[in-house]
Amino acid sequence: MTIRFDKLGVVIAVIVAYAALFAPFATFRANRIVPGQARSILDALPTPLGALLLAILIAGAIIALLKTPLVLRLATSIVALVALTLLIGIAGGFLTPAGNALARIAPASGFWLLIFAFTLLLADVLTRLNLSPLARVGVLVVAALAIAGVLVSGSLDSLSIFKEYASHADSFWAEASKHVTLALGSLAAAVIVGLPLGILCHRIERLQAGVLNVLNIIQTIPSIALFGLLIAPLGWVAMHIPGAAAIGIRGIGTAPAFVALFLYSLLPVVANTVVGLAGVPRAANDAARGMGMTDRQRLFGVEFPLAFPVILTGIRIVLVQNIGLATIAALIGGGGFGVFVFQGVGQTAMDLVLLGALPTVALAFAAAIILDAVIEMTATKRRVETA
């Protein structure tokens, strides 16, 4: 019998072997800022559980390495991810000295590499299964509920990142609200301004080059620089225009962060609107004219519906981009998850950095999956309608 190897599985198996056997699984620190002491899987867990985890990881690496059925690969990735999540929580309790409130236990590089490897295996399986858009969203919802269940259960409370959360619980949700408001608010403003501007650029070609060039220039300005450039003009507005400061416009804070994210959002919205409208088949427009439709009727009844999947792709780009860029807003007092990131950097507390970084990554990942599903469903619907 010929043994067949999976190409991606070879990479996954190598990562798992290195992470399980050579990289540290957890880190022990006497307090939140001192350097950590690495612990392997067998050192970080009670012996029976450490041996069980190693057995699961070795079996998972072998299944990933070989050409195995998709159902087996799916089950393997889920079992490995669940085992890693539960056992890192047990490692936190096992390594923490009794009665010691200062000690910090954090997942180390080996844990994160293992999570990455088996998440990669899971993503590969889901891709090969060719799930429908609704099924992908369903998988996301199930995963989110499972993660929420683990977090609510308290099984991970012994880890340092959750101790940081316990110390910042009230401010965490306040900053989360600011982060989401900045990302979604700037996106909404960009759509309100960018869609008409894109339509105008499509209709007037002489305007198109100038507008897109200006927006391209704005896009090339580094985010921190753009935030800084907006401090002076918005500060002047707050000082000289009555009522501006009362509604929140000032040199630092949410206003410059919102304006900067809005400016960064315009290019994808405008450009994709232009590309989408330009891609509408000439035959569809000719048929609409033949039916006696006016320019407005053609725009909203024919062109815009056909261009919508492309426009929605631009909106997806903007939302994922803004969720990440909103982190920088903390540098100018705009709030958001960046508050924890920069506090952690300043205090050399990496767990505080993760408290801000992990929710940002999770939000961006979820937004990408949901909007990708909506785009695919919309594009499929348009193809059916035009068939």
d(CA 54, CA 324): 35
Q: Burial of 182 by CB count in 10 Å (0-12 exposed, 13-18 middle, 19+ buried)?
A: buried
286 and 211, same domain (yes or no):
yes
Q: What is the pLDDT of residue 176?
A: 92
pLDDT tier at 288, thresholds 50, 70, 90: confident
Considering the domain architecture, whether residues 324 and 293 belong to the same structural domain is answered as: yes
Judge whether 370 lies within some domain.
yes
The tens digit of pLDDT for each residue in 222-277 reads 877 777 777 777 776 767 676 666 656 666 777 888 888 888 889 999 999 999 88
The CATH number of residue 246's host domain is 1.10.3720.10
Q: Are residues 278 and 364 in the same domain?
A: yes
Residue 386 binned pLDDT confidence (cut-offs 50, 70, 90): low
Question: Is the domain of 189 the same as that of 325?
Answer: yes
Q: Please identify, among 102, 127, 160, the residue that sits at the C-terminal boundary of a domain.
A: 160
Whether 105 and 187 share a structural domain: no
Report if residue 1 sits inside a domain. no
pLDDT tens profile 54-76: 999 999 999 999 999 999 999 99
Radius of gyration of the chain (CA): 25
From 109, 126, 160, the end of a domain falls on 160
Does any domain span residue 199?
yes
Task: Clarify whether residues 66 and 100 are in a common domain.
Answer: yes
Q: How far apart (Å, rounded) are the C-alpha atoms in residues 1 and 326?
A: 55
Is the residue at 367 inside a domain?
Answer: yes
Q: Based on the domain organization, do 317 and 377 belong to the same domain?
A: yes
pTM score: 0.84
Is 136 in the same domain as 201? no
Instruction: Give the per-residue pLDDT at 12.
Output: 95
Q: Which of the listed residues 93, 126, 160 is the one where a domain comes to its end? A: 160
Tell me, yes or no, whether 128 and 151 share the same domain. yes
Share of the chain above pLDDT 90, in %: 42
DSSP secondary structure letter of residue 278: H
- Domain total of the chain: 2
Lowest average pLDDT, out of 89-98, 150-159, 195-204, 378-387, goes to 378-387
